[in-house]
Structure 1
Amino acid sequence: MIAAVNVTEFCTVGDYLIYRMKEVGIEHIFGVPGDFNLHFLDQIEASGEVSWVGNCNELNAAYSADGYARIRGIGALVTTFGVGELSALNGIAGAYAEHVPVIQITGAPSTSASVQGKRIHHTLGDGDYTHFSSMYKEVTVAQTSLTADNAPEEIDRVLAACWLQKRPVYIYLPSDVCYQSVPCPKGPLSLPRFSSDPGRLQSFLTLAAEALNNASFPVILADYEVSRYHLTDALRSFVNHSGYPAASLSMGKGVIDENHPQFIGVYSGKISDPYVSSMIDSADCILSIGVRLNDVVTGGFTHNLPPEKMIELHPSCAQIGQVDYPDVVMSDVLEQLIPRIRRRSMEQANLLSLQARQSPRIEILSPHGSGRISQERFWGMISEFLQPRDVVLADTGTALFGAISIPFPAKASFVAQPLWASIGYSLPALLGTQMAAPDRRNVLLIGDGAFQISAQELSTLLAQRLKPVIFLINNDGYTIERLVHPIDNPYNDIQPWNYDLLPHVFGEFGSFISLRVTDEIQLAEALEKAELSDRLVFIEVVMDRTDAPELLRSFGNILTSGSPVKPLPVS
């Protein structure tokens, strides 16, 4: 066990780091063992404070830590120097792009080996041990190389940066440093928060309230920064008080309960539900809360958000029109703007909620027949299958656009990667989200192409005795690529696998249910089994390769029509 905090006691560098990670909420550390991190892994095993979760490879470990952080608030992984940390680099870059706080710990060669520039394994053989840490500077907000002299201060510094900026940090831990003695923490880790400049805040509040109160039709547009900074409750209070219509973007799906009477739907530019587009287009004041625009969430930049209509809130700054307000903090504005704005009634807001617009419920036990499952019917049945508090993960491609299109139940969380968009992310991320929230049902939606990228992590899910529900959409290859570049070339084909047999390969018999469904009757029966199961459920759903969610078709059409490259005729 880690020694109790006391100013007169000493602990090892490794124990200090473990203690601080546990203090910020980390209970599981992902990664892959390697000779340069084994001493630190021994300390993890002996600590009794955190649990080691071994992944099949380092890329998957980074994705797992990312998924864990999105639910728990922060995550961590351990790799070995060079070969391991470079394998994880793509996952850390994705966390950086999407503002996910992940601690990357690299077990490194001994200090003496580095000083002497020895030509040892996992190096480039040139005696320079800084190549890989230099690469990490591009995708982390703080970096450190630990020594016995600097460890306490440096660990505290980088963890504070990770917590504040919601982006990855890099810790280089030489193998001979982790057991060196340092003073134990003298008190709780000081976790910083953004603070507003009082004068700028008051100026902003005055102008924002005036703009909102004078508007004929104000609306709220919310996105993922709200959840990253744990402000969903504050957002809910503001929405309730304002009476304004409220929409989210797909990266922030779930930041507003989708059965809320003021929630109108997910905004995706011109490919949005027509009602949502018309509401956003007709607004004369748009309160944008935690929104960061990119091509995927805006339907290929087809959004209509004129700057002169915008009031933007971000974690550490704000903007009205073209005027920036640094050091005006989102949490302060959400709290202090409430008493300054005039509440609109449902009649004044003139809104029809998403829930009110939904067509009659699709009864999942009343399938249409024995024909092949269509995308439209599949997503309708999934919508009915989801339960309050579910954690729903969707991989980039068919799964992402299908999940965006359906309403979620109350308090459901959505985990996806629309900006970085690295296929295969969601299966290892599922390991992280399920470890972070073992009391919540996790539901994964993933295509066959994405699954083949990271399929090995199914074995870790089974090894950890986790009980998610996994829907593998088998539509014979990269459907999204076929839609955004509609030329029928074989590079979008993949080798067919017997997907439903993989749990039998990876797991112990009796620890899972594995099913393959090809029609709605089979799907309805599989959903019923999944509802009642206390084991991991793996459902392969076979669909036509040319079928796709309507939202994905619209997105593909926009990208295709906007492409400057015209295909050459095939001779």
Structure 2
Amino acid sequence: MKKRVGEYLMDALSTAGVKKVYGVPGDFNLTFLDDIVSRDDMEWVGNTNELNASYAADGYARLNGISAMVTTFGVGELSAVNGIAGSYAERVPVVAITGAPTTAVEEAGKYVHHSLGEGKFDNYRKMFKEITTAQGYITVDNAQTEIPRLINAAISEKRPVHLHLPIDVAQSEIDVKEAYKIPEPIHQDVSKYIEMIEQKLQTAKQPVIITGHEINSFKLHDELEQFVEQTQIPVAQLSLGKGAFNEESPFYMGIYDGSIAEEKIRDYVDNSDAILNIGAKLTDSATAGYSYGFDIDDVVMINHHDFKLNDTVTSEFTLPNLVDGLLNIQYKNETHFPENIRAEKGDYTIDNEPLTQETYFKMMQDFIGIDDIILAEQGTSFFGAYDLNLYKDNTFIGQPLWGSIGYTLPATIGTQMSDLYRRNILLIGDGSLQLTAQDISTMIREDLKPVIFVINNDGYTVERKIHGENQPYNDIHMWDYKLLPAVFGGKDKVAVHDVETSEDLKNVFLQIDKEPNQMHFIEVKMGALDAPEKLDAIGKAFSKQNS
């Protein structure tokens, strides 16, 4: 069957599960975009800039399992580099497609726009090598091998890939020999390593599981919970990967974040004689500056291509195979462990006093619905929200490893478009909002209906807690935030609210519940130095780490 290369590419992405494609048009991708907008099974979502497109694609992939974005050569693809790097760091499969000059132009070494004016066309592709798991230059001859290879790499590694697609190649016809098919998972024999883990557990007096983001990336929630129910080993989550384990489970203890963790959780984990680290990374932000009280060399590392138990180290095995192997372990924990205590409803005072971060998050705990998607921006929002107790069907999204402020606003476009029937709650601060606010326009154009809480605390509170509390570099110019929806064309589409007290916030919650089929934009005013307790502690840890 004859098809254009661009058509074949989009057929393959559709088969892989991509239904929305994010990006920004440019002259090196325009005719290729025709192959997207003409489809019945796919929608083009134009963003306000390429960085925001990369964030939106990241958000979409976190829920959907894979995403795609399209930029133009040079200026476009480099604007997306930050977002793609974040997807690489946090294991999110994004297919980044660059519409490039024609092969004739590249072969002739012409000085075209968006190039560096040196007749070279591989500069930017080299830049992507360090932040993608696979890269490819698509030609007419290799399209049917390279495109499947790259998509398969994104799926198997849960990391972004980069396709350099000359515009003439995209429009060239090929004889498609076989339609793209998602490959069957490869089964690996991990029994040797599972036996080693079982032997360690058999002698353990106080076992524990630490889990995190790779469980979310590979969507291994059910398998992990089955293993926990079989063995009755308690689970602590890292903030990096919150939502990896069912927080309603009787075997869930809570968040472990080093020295600032709740005392009973910290003591149990730090004194464990068998720590199974399943799909987690012990980063500085997740452990309050590496303040864990155990010897990391004693931890059993069970991650993707990263298994370690004592002197046995291998990168051969995938996380899905390792987790599947855990289900064969014959062991039952009988040690008592601390239980997660869910916050009581209404554990706060409703009054007309200035709202504090502490009360804000206590009230937010009661507001969260059973299947909401919660996005918490890397700032006071994240450090206040990661201690919230989730329901089994909630999804929690933050970016604490890469930590690029502004990420969550465009990411909300992707998460909301992945499932229009689930409510998205975005918790973001004013400093972060100012980086990516333009894509409120995209939300309005696409008729999305998230609930956006913007904390207006006059600047970069995270940075103030680390260094320079009163320095001008941590200040931002004050915006009239409540006017933004109108500026971006949503005057009659977006409900705008103003919150200064707990009484205000209670009333806003009631209005949101009464009008669920509308986008809500809430400006929440709080003190510049008011911060969640965890942020105060982590700020001190980061300050010490940087000195």
Same fold (TM > 0.5): yes
Give the Cα separation in 1 of the matches to 2:202 and 2:394. Answer: 32
What CA deviation, in whole Å up to 9, does each residue of 1:77-114 have, x standing for no partner?
A: 10011111111111111111111111111111111111
Structure-2 residue corresponding to 1:331: 320
Deviation at 1:487, TM superposition (A): 4.1
CA distance in 2, matches of 1:105, 1:381: 42
Q: Which residue in the other structure is 1:530 paired with?
A: 512
Letter in 1 for 2:95: I
Deviations 1:248-282 (A, max 9, x none): 11111111111211111111111112121111012
- Describe the SS at the equivalent of 1:250: coil
Counterparts of 2:454 and 2:153, CA distance in 1: 37
Is the aligned partner of 1:42 residue 2:22?
A: no
1:405 and 1:551 in contact (8 A); partners too = no
Amino acid across the alignment from 1:352: P
Q: Identify the residue that residue 346 of structure 2 maps to in structure 1.
A: 362
Q: Secondary structure at the match of 1:15?
A: helix
In structure 2, distance between residues paired with 1:111 and 1:74: 29
SS in 1 for 2:465: helix
Partner of residue 214 from structure 1, selected from 203, 206, 212: 203
Deviation at 1:342, TM superposition (A): 2.2
Aligned mate of 1:468, from 444, 450, 459: 450
1:389 offset after TM fit, Å?
A: 1.8
Q: Is the 8 A contact 2:289 2:545 kept in 1?
A: no
Residue 144 of structure 1 aligns to a residue whose secondary structure is: strand
2:420 matched to 1:438? yes
1:548 is matched with: 531
CA distance in 1, matches of 2:311, 2:241: 24
- Tell me if structure 2 keeps the 8 A contact 1:194–1:329: no
1:226/1:232 contact within 8 Å kept: yes
Q: 2:264 matched to 1:280?
A: no
Aligned partner letter, 2:242? K
Picking from 20, 29, 39, the partner of 2:21 is 29
Find the counterpart in structure 2 of residue 147 from structure 1.
139
Is this contact kept in 2: 1:194–1:315, CA < 8 A?
no
Q: 1:324 is paired with a residue of what secondary structure?
A: strand
Give distance in 1, aligned partners of 2:343 and 2:166. 60
Tell me, yes or no, if structure 1 residue 457 matches structure 2 residue 439. yes
Contact 1:32 1:57 in 2 (8 A): yes
What letter matches 1:545 in structure 2? A
The Cα of 1:332 is off from its aligned counterpart by: 3.3
By how many angstroms is 1:194 displaced? Answer: 5.0
Task: Tell me what 1:3 maps to.
Answer: none
* Partner secondary structure for residue 495 of structure 2: strand
Q: Which residue of 1 aligns with 2:85?
A: 93
Structure 2: where are the runs of 5+ without partners? none
What's the CA shift string for 1:297-331, capped at 9, x where partnerless?
A: 11111123324542221133422123214434433
- Are positions 1:297 and 2:280 aligned together? no
Q: 1:351 aligns with which of 334, 337, 343?
A: 337
Quote the residue 1:558 is aligned against. 541
2:255 to 260, 263, 266: 266
Is 1:195–1:328's contact at 8 Å kept on the other side of the alignment? no
Matches within 5 A, 1:109-188: 109-184=101-176, 186-188=178-180
- CA distance in 1 between counterparts of 2:138 and 2:322 reads 39
SS in 2 for 1:39: helix
Alignment check: 8 A CA contact 1:68 1:429 kept? yes
Equivalent residue for 2:54?
62
The equivalent residue for 2:404 is: 422
Q: For residues 185 and 73 of structure 1, do their structure 2 counterparts lie closer, same or farther at Cα, with a shift above 3 Å needed? A: farther
The runs of 5 or more residues in structure 1 that have no matched partner are: 1-8, 565-571
In structure 1, what residue type is equivalent to 2:366?
Answer: E
Q: Is the contact made by 2:205 and 2:335 (CA closer than 8 Å) also made in structure 1?
A: no
Q: 1:51 to 1:384 in 2, by over 3 A?
A: same
CA displacement, residues 386-424 of structure 1 (integer Å, 9 cap, x when unaligned): 112211111111111011122112221111111111100
Q: Distance in 1 between matches of 2:240 and 2:482?
A: 30
Inter-partner Cα distance in structure 2 for 1:379 and 1:143: 42
Amino acid at match of 2:176: C
* Most deviating of 183-192 and 454-463: 183-192
Q: What is the CA-CA distance between 1:499 and the residue it aligns to?
A: 0.5
Cα distance change on mapping 1:557 and 1:545 into 2, 3 Å: same
Secondary structure of residue in 1 paired with 2:508:
helix
Query: How far 1:130 moved relative to its partner?
Result: 1.5
**Matched residues in 2 for 1:185 and 1:49: separation?**
22
* CA distance in structure 1 between the aligned counterparts of 2:42 and 2:359, rounded to whole angstroms: 43
Q: CA deviation at 1:381?
A: 0.5
- TM-score with structure 1 setting the length: 0.93
What letter matches 1:42 in structure 2? D
Shift of 1:339: 4.2
Q: For residues 41-96 of structure 1, what are the alpha-carbon distances to aligned partners after superposition, in whole Å with 9 as ceiling and x for unaligned?
A: 11111122210000000000000001111110111110011111111111111111
2:380 matches 1:398:
yes
What is aligned with 1:241? Answer: 230
The DSSP-based 3-state class of the residue aligned with 1:215 is coil
Q: Determine if contact 1:160/1:192 at 8 Å carries over to the other structure.
A: no
Taking the aligned partners of 2:184 and 2:442, their CA distance within structure 1 comes to 35
- List structure 1 runs of 4+ shifted beyond 4 angstroms: none
Percent of aligned pairs sharing the same letter: 39
Mapped partners of 1:175, 1:559: distance in 2: 46
Q: Which residue of 2 aligns with 1:4?
A: none
Which of these residues, 343, 357, 373, is aligned with residue 375 of structure 1? 357
TM-score, L = length of structure 2 = 0.97
3-state SS, counterpart of residue 319 of structure 1: strand
The aligned length equals 546
**1:132 to partner: Cα distance:** 1.2
Q: One-letter code of the match for 1:209?
A: E
Contact 2:444 2:489 in 1 (8 A): yes
Q: 1:338 to 1:111 in 2, by over 3 A?
A: closer
1:410 aligns with 2:392: yes
